[in-house]
Amino acid sequence: MTGTFVDEPMDEPEDGQLPEAVEVADPAPVAPVLSDAAQAALDRIAAFADPAKAAEAAEYHKVKRRYLGVPVPQVEELVAEWRADLSLDDRIALAADLWRSDVHEAMVAAAKLLAQARMRPDDAAWSLICDWAQGFNGWATADHATTAGQKRLVADPSRIDTVAAWTQSPNMWTRRAALVITLPYAKMNFPKEADLAIRETALSWCESSIADRDWFIQKAIAWWVRDLSKHDAPRARAFLDAHGAGLKSFARKEAARFLP
Dump pLDDT digits (tens) for 223-250: 999 999 999 999 999 999 999 999 999 9
Instruction: Give the burial class of 111: count Cβ atoms within 10 A of its Cβ; 0-12 exposed, 13-18 middle, 19 or more buried.
Output: buried
pLDDT of residue 31: 77
Question: How many CA within 13 A on the CB side of residue 154?
Answer: 22
- Per-residue pLDDT reduced to its tens digit, 4-58: 344 544 565 544 465 654 444 454 446 789 999 999 999 999 999 999 999 999 9
Note the pTM of the prediction, 2 decimals.
0.89
pLDDT of residue 15: 40
- Per-residue pLDDT reduced to its tens digit, 106-162: 999 999 999 998 999 999 999 999 999 999 999 999 999 999 999 999 999 999 999
Instruction: Give the burial class of 180: count Cβ atoms within 10 A of its Cβ; 0-12 exposed, 13-18 middle, 19 or more buried.
Output: buried
What is the DSSP secondary structure assignment for residue 102, as one 8-state letter?
Answer: T
pLDDT band at 1 (very low <50, low <70, confident <90, very high): very low
* CB 112, CB 76: distance < 8 Å: yes
Rounded-to-integer distance, Cα 257 and Cα 24, Å = 30
Quote the mean pLDDT of the chain.
Answer: 92
Rounded-to-integer distance, Cα 142 and Cα 130, Å = 11
All structural domains of the chain with their residue ranges? 1-13+32-156, 182-260
pLDDT exceeds 50 at position 62? yes
pLDDT of residue 235: 98
pLDDT of residue 3: 38
pLDDT exceeds 50 at position 206? yes
pLDDT of residue 19: 62
What average pLDDT does this structure show over 168-182?
98
Rounded-to-integer distance, Cα 142 and Cα 256, Å = 25
